[in-house]
Amino acid sequence: MPTVLVTGASRGLGLEFTRQYAAEGWQVIACARDPARAAALQDAAAAAPGRVAVHPLDVADHASVDRLAAQLAKAAIDVLLNCAGTMGDGNFAAQGLAFGRFGSTDYADWERVLRINVLGPMKMAEAFVGQVARSEQRKIVTLTSILGSIARNTRGSLYGYRSSKAAVNAVMKSMAIDLAASHGIAATVIHPGWVRTDMGGPRADIDAPTSVAGMRRVIDALTVESAGRYWMYDGSTLPW
């Protein structure tokens, strides 16, 4: 059975990926900052005995990433799935574009957003590239956002979050080129849609099962030739 490593698995899309991949018979390495407090993740693991292994991981803490990589040094990871992310110290679902408006910048919070959303996926890829390379599928996927599209930005605001997603798009584009050549790895980003999660809020367009089912189809079809694109969960693409 193939293996997927999911960051940010304690809730939202990461938790739904864990549930769906486990239901399909995959081995799931489900990572969360504090597994002991992740009741829903523990329930998902209990519902799929032997298929979900829960590990502590903070993608903002590079030593934490290195510890897990050393612990899983002999693993073969078919899909490395970077779900962990943050919009920062605010609530877009409640505040909309008033969150992150010009003139209200919290620079320390912006740095934290960049560390989680940009440096986190890069560190994960560098730490686990060997485990991905020895697998059969060899895929690295990072969840991005339509808000990272420069071409689609017609409303402004959200400086920290937008910049982090535009940056991780650039990171993953370069990774797609470099890792295809060096390791035969397909790397890409996927926008999950506007999803009804804690981040997306209750008014969002789709639920997490719909989003994750769509993204899984994109991941299943991913090749080194189709990697490095700005995918939508429905299989369409976005402009950078």
Cα(23)–Cα(135) distance, integer angstroms: 20
Q: Is residue 237 part of a domain?
A: no
Q: What is the pLDDT of residue 96?
A: 66
Q: How far apart are CA 238 and CA 240, in angstroms?
A: 6
* 116 DSSP 8-state letter: I
Say if 221 falls within a structural domain. yes
For residue 59, give both structure tokens: 């993608």
φ, ψ of residue 214 to 5 degrees: the values are -65, -45
What domain count does the chain have? 1
pTM of structure: 0.95
Please report whether residue 131 resides in a domain: yes
pLDDT for 197 equals 81
What CATH number corresponds to the domain at position 219? Answer: 3.40.50.720
- Please tell me what DSSP assigns to residue 48: S
What is the predicted pLDDT for the residue at 94?
62
pLDDT at 79: 99
Distance of CA 218 to the CA centre of its chain: 14
pLDDT value of residue 169: 98
Residue 240 lies in a domain: no
Q: What are the angstrom distances between the C-alpha of 231 and each of 53, 121, 126, 228?
A: 28, 17, 22, 9
Residue 88 lies in a domain: yes
Query: How confident is the model at residue 95, as a pLDDT?
Result: 65
Please write the tens of the pLDDT for every residue from 88-114: 987 666 666 667 789 989 999 999 999
Other CB atoms within a 10 A radius of the CB of residue 60 amount to 18
What residues are paired with 82 via a beta bridge? Answer: 142
Across the range 221-238, mean pLDDT stands at: 98
Question: Per-residue pLDDT averaged across 190-206, rounded?
Answer: 84
pLDDT for the residue numbered 158: 93
Q: Mind listing the pLDDT tens digit for each residue in 39-60?
A: 999 999 999 999 999 999 999 9
Answer whether residue 94 is part of any domain.
yes
Q: Does 46 map to a domain? A: yes
Predicted confidence (pLDDT) at residue 200 exceeds the cutoff of 90: no
The predicted pLDDT at position 196 comes to 85
| Residues of the chain above pLDDT 70, percent | 97
Over residues 148-169, the pLDDT tens digits come to 999 999 999 999 999 999 999 9
Instruction: Kindly tell me the number of DSSP H helices and DSSP E strands found in the chain.
Output: 8, 7
pLDDT of residue 98: 67
Looking at residue 93, its pLDDT comes to 63
- As annotated, the active-site residues are 161
Structural domain including 191 reads 3-232
Paired tokens of 97: 């574009």
Q: Is residue 152 part of a domain?
A: yes
pLDDT at site 107: 96
Per-residue confidence (pLDDT) for residue 171, from 0 to 100? 98
